[in-house]
Structure 1
Amino acid sequence: MNVNRLATAAILAFVCFILFVYPDPQGDLYTILRYIVFGLLIVILYQFSTSDNDIYEPEKEKKEEKSSSINRGLDIRENMHDQYEQLLQMVFSVVMAINDKYKASFYMLDGSGSQMKIQSATKEGFKRSIPTDNEVIQTVLLQEKAVLFQQTDVRESWDGLFEEESWRGSECVLGARVLYKNAPIGCILVQTDHFSTIQERDRNLLTSLGRFVSLSMVKLDNIEKLSLDNYFHYQIANLLNSMDIQSEVKGLYEKVRDLCRTFFNYDKLTVSVKQSDGEHYKVVLEDGYSGDVDPEKIYSIKRSIHGRGFRAHETVESSDMNEEFYESGRFEEGDLENHDFKSILTVPVIVHDSVQYSITIEKQTSTRFSDSDKNVLELLALTFGSIVSWQQQYWKMHENAMHDGLTGLLNHKAFI
């Protein structure tokens, strides 16, 4: 109730007291007073009937938006992707400025290195993927300068570049390679309906454009690595500071999962712990692909690919585990037939000079993990091992403090 209505209610109570409770006095003065009070009562009732209702608006709590590690990491990657898209748009703008009748596309090698995947194009008609053994693609990737091909000269390879269409024979395509650290990783393809429209100046410009994109790719990659590495080190420090040494290790598994989601692209993440017999391990956390692991089951360290992390005491990596490893299963014999995985990166977690855990990321495609991936996962494993070690030391000291050193029985501190 607001102040005005409270005052009005008080006056109303006073008026009712004068009219109905106060002893009946005699005289003209009191009669006049009664008329005045009655008039005031009318005014008060009118005020009640016309005044606005009290409106109570609860104070809205200001919620601070806390950016999680996952969102922050995604923001960095999305920002890099936006800059990459802007680079492609600039490339196409330059091509169209050279000749607005040109059709341009940009291709990059996929993870396997056997296909060129289209990233973007100014027009439809380009193949979504081109095998790297295509004669045109091979020539473009090997030549320092832009190369011109006429349709009649490369008929078989031509069909691998473009969707089915009736060709007159006068069409041609101009290709310039894109490098990353002196290795060809992509190309710019420019197609036109007649070879006469392409001039020597255009070839030189496309060569320069390919070199510019190569330089830009390195710069973008360095910016992304620097941003992610700096943020990763910040998150590692935050992990160390935020972990309660008295907390359960399960909470640490979840933090490891969140960090891996932020900094790695994978189809499956697995965290495993060695069992007390030293010959088996158990999966304590999995993320991504599911259905290939029984969390209640233990697996052999000697006879499984995932067991290599416990045996090797060092980082294990493969882009084709079927070919490179003698074990016939990731967890148990024959499971690769039902769950097709190609690439694996496993880092052991060392606690008190022995491997007690392993962190593994896998992909279903054949892909080489980068040095940055290895370094980041190794640092995460080192931090994970340090926190587990501290927790084990704490609980060991806590156990010793609660028991008598000679008898092993609970001492008086356990009952305080």
Structure 2
Amino acid sequence: MGIRNYLRIIPFLLTATGIFFGHSDHPILYLFLTILIILSFYLHSRLPIWMFLFIAQVLIHLSGDKLVLFYLPILILISDPVITAAFIGSEIVVHLQKGGLFTFTYPIAIFVVIAYLLRNWLKEKHDNLKRELELIKKRSEFILTTEADTKQLLAGIKTSPHPAIYRPILHFLSYLRRSLAAQTVAFFYRSGDDLVLTLGASTIKGFREGVRVGVESGILGHVVKEKREVIIPEYGLPVKQLGYYADPKIEVKSLAVVPVLFGDELEGVLVIDSATRSYTTADREILRNASSTLAYLTGMVRLYEQQRRNAIHYSALYEMAKRLQQELDLDRIIEISAQVASAIFECDHVGIARVDPEINRGEVLFSDGLKMIKPHTSFSLDEGLVGWIAKYRRYLLNNQLKKGKLHRVFRKEGSHPYHSFIGVPIMAEEDVLGVIWVESRVKSAFREEDSELLNFLAFQLSLAWNRANLHKKVSELAISDSLTGLYNHRHFHEEMDRLLAKEKRLVLLMLDIDHFKKINDEYGHQVGDQVLVGVARLLQSGDGIPARYGGEEFALILPGYGERKGLETAIRLREKIKNQQMRIETKMIKVTVSIGLAFYPKDGKNKEELISKADAALYRAKREGRDRVAVA
């Protein structure tokens, strides 16, 4: 009915008190109104309840009920303009009839004003709360959209079969049990090197589905190996060998075990036992026809399930592609791709590696299985299956990983529990970026068609990988000097601001190449550029954050360093550059530098003061003869 309709009954409940306290002289009228209310509940689905309440309300008001003043605030609060208007109109009629209109004017006016203000206050409070909730919701969507999208994507990959898909097979097994006067008809589905009791029809309460049976020995193993039926008219073996009876006392008189073949492929095994009938070779044709029908039904179900899984998987990959379009961080791209691969293939391990065929090396970027292969592990492309995929740029499927004692990534990876492996290269046109592979503890877990899914995933991963690399290069260009690769002047200032905001102490070195103009004049600007690059490499090989400040001038930030350690670093750097003769073409060029130091916070409380002090120390070092270190 809704809360408002219940609130509308309050006036009538208040009127009921008039009967008990003698405030009303119309008990028959109240009885009539009660019947109207009950009738309105009964007819609520056909006629609006407020129509009946309206009639009842007008009659109550006309009866002179003394509790009438309590009704108006309730009616206004429930925001029903029709009922409220009817109430006010009936009040006017009542008081006109009794000549008491002006007597009740002030109380009614007060109640109207109070109810109006109360209603507006509640409405404003509700609207404010609604706006706050919307704002919180939008913020939450902005913050959590990445994680929520990924979780939703992974949840959508689940491919549990629809419960109704096996119904035709169950009906057929039940029909077969009745036709052959069987106690149990059980269908064992082939799963790797095992048989799993998938479906069955039985008269025994202790019948167990989901039983897994090995095919190395026993009657079922013999049927799997020979692909021929076995009929035992008088079964004298323990019933526990069948696997599906919990009670060992259950009697089995006769047994028939028939292979279920779809073409030449073994789908499973059909087991039929009876406590009353003996199966003989005369039943062979019936059993073979039953097996053929079951194979057909199973094949249809498998085909349907395969198509359904493919649709779900490709839909998930499409959603993953859209999701990856929003990512520019390579680590996050790798993580999402691995999660999707794990969900699609229902595997035990996912690995993703970056490879460089030019140097014949690779690096593991992601590994979520056992810790035998750890992220950031380097390996040779000559050692394992992953390297083979990268070198030959072809997918590789191996469902017998244990038999060949093959190395997956490198020779020293140790033993592992995986039987099945499938991997594909991650290609960017003609270049190979890496390899993605999945592994399972289950034997024969992967099929040829799985390589298509993995290839599609690898293709989407390669697009996002390329885009992340491009974004990284563009970002580096924006903050790097194009010649030396060091931070440029603008980013040097940004790093100084960042470090001064968080470090308690810091040392700034300003370096200038001595007589650089002479090198340019004597050897040419190309040689001068190579000298700049050589000095930059020496700066990069040491501690701190180097930057090209401008021209032949460099800066080196040493966060967390004190005065003594900063001075020792500056002296060591000057000697390192001086002792490193640079071979440029056929020439050997000796380079020296002058260095100025400033210490934070001793020499400056902010970036400008610190740079000014270090620069002044640098020019003092040059005035005093160059090839030396000066402290501010």
Aligned-partner SS, 1:213: helix
CA contact (8 A) 2:231 2:280 kept: no
Matched residue type, 1:319: N
Q: Give matches, 1:6-405, under 5 Å.
A: 40-44=105-109, 54=122, 68-74=152-158, 77-78=159-160, 80-99=161-180, 101-111=182-192, 113=193, 115-121=194-200, 122=202, 123=204, 124=206, 128-135=212-219, 137-139=221-223, 142=226, 147-151=230-234, 155=237, 160-162=241-243, 165=248, 171-196=253-278, 198=279, 204-244=285-325, 247-274=328-355, 278-287=359-368, 289-327=369-407, 333=412, 335-336=414-415, 339-351=416-428, 353-393=430-470, 395-396=472-473
Matched residue type, 2:332: G
Question: Whole-Å Cα distance in 2 between the matches of residues 408 and 200 of structure 1?
Answer: 85
CA contact (8 A) 1:282 1:298 kept: yes
Structure 1 residue 173 displacement after superposition: 0.7
Matched residue type, 2:272: V
Question: Whole-Å Cα distance in 2 between the matches of residues 84 and 43 of structure 1?
Answer: 69
Question: Whole-Å Cα distance in 2 between the matches of residues 413 and 2 of structure 1?
Answer: 68
Structure 1 residue 285 displacement after superposition: 2.5
Q: 1:411 to 1:280 in 2, by over 3 A?
A: closer
Structure 1 residue 47 displacement after superposition: 6.1
Question: Whole-Å Cα distance in 2 between the matches of residues 83 and 273 of structure 1?
Answer: 44
Structure 1 residue 264 displacement after superposition: 0.9
Q: 1:292 to 1:48 in 2, by over 3 A?
A: farther
Q: 1:404 to 1:140 in 2, by over 3 A?
A: closer
Question: Whole-Å Cα distance in 2 between the matches of residues 410 and 70 of structure 1?
Answer: 40
| 385-394 vs 275-284, which moves further | 275-284
Count, aligned residues: 372
The aligned counterpart of 2:44 is none
TM-score by length of 1: 0.70
Instruction: Name stretches of at least 5 consecutive residues in structure 2 with no aligned partner.
Output: 1-72, 78-100, 142-147, 494-632
| 38-47 vs 58-67, which moves further | 58-67
Matched residue type, 1:217: T
CA contact (8 A) 1:319 1:342 kept: yes
Aligned-partner SS, 1:69: helix
Question: Whole-Å Cα distance in 2 between the matches of residues 119 and 140 of structure 1?
Answer: 16
Question: Whole-Å Cα distance in 2 between the matches of residues 388 and 209 of structure 1?
Answer: 53
Greater RCO, CA 8 A, separation 6+: 1
Higher-Rg structure is 2
Aligned-partner SS, 1:272: strand
Question: Whole-Å Cα distance in 1 between the matches of residues 376 and 226 of structure 2?
Answer: 53
Q: 1:290 to 1:118 in 2, by over 3 A?
A: same
Aligned-partner SS, 1:377: helix
Aligned-partner SS, 1:321: coil
Bigger proportion of residues as helix? 2
Q: Percent of pairs identical after alignment?
A: 14
Structure 1 residue 97 displacement after superposition: 2.8
Question: Whole-Å Cα distance in 2 between the matches of residues 399 and 103 of structure 1?
Answer: 71
| 250-259 vs 59-68, which moves further | 59-68
Q: 1:140 to 1:281 in 2, by over 3 A?
A: closer
Structure 1 residue 389 displacement after superposition: 2.7
Q: 1:3 to 1:397 in 2, by over 3 A?
A: farther
Question: Whole-Å Cα distance in 1 between the matches of residues 113 and 400 of structure 2?
Answer: 84
TM-score by length of 2: 0.49
Structure 1 residue 40 displacement after superposition: 4.5
CA contact (8 A) 2:165 2:301 kept: yes
Structure 1 residue 354 displacement after superposition: 3.4
Structure 1 residue 87 displacement after superposition: 3.9
Instruction: Name stretches of at least 5 consecutive residues in structure 1 with no aligned partner.
Output: 6-35
Question: Whole-Å Cα distance in 1 between the matches of residues 74 and 366 of structure 2?
Answer: 58
Cα displacement string for residues 47-96 of structure 1 (whole angstroms, at most 9, x for unaligned residues)? 6889997476565879999893333332xx22x35245324422332123
Structure 1 residue 326 displacement after superposition: 4.7
Question: Whole-Å Cα distance in 2 between the matches of residues 276 and 184 of structure 1?
Answer: 42
Aligned-partner SS, 1:73: coil
Structure 1 residue 268 displacement after superposition: 1.0
CA contact (8 A) 2:196 2:213 kept: yes
Q: 1:195 to 1:130 in 2, by over 3 A?
A: farther
Aligned-partner SS, 2:403: helix
Question: Whole-Å Cα distance in 2 between the matches of residues 135 and 405 of structure 1?
Answer: 75
Cα displacement string for residues 185-235 of structure 1 (whole angstroms, at most 9, x for unaligned residues)? 311111012444x58886544433321221122222322333333444444
Structure 1 residue 249 displacement after superposition: 1.8
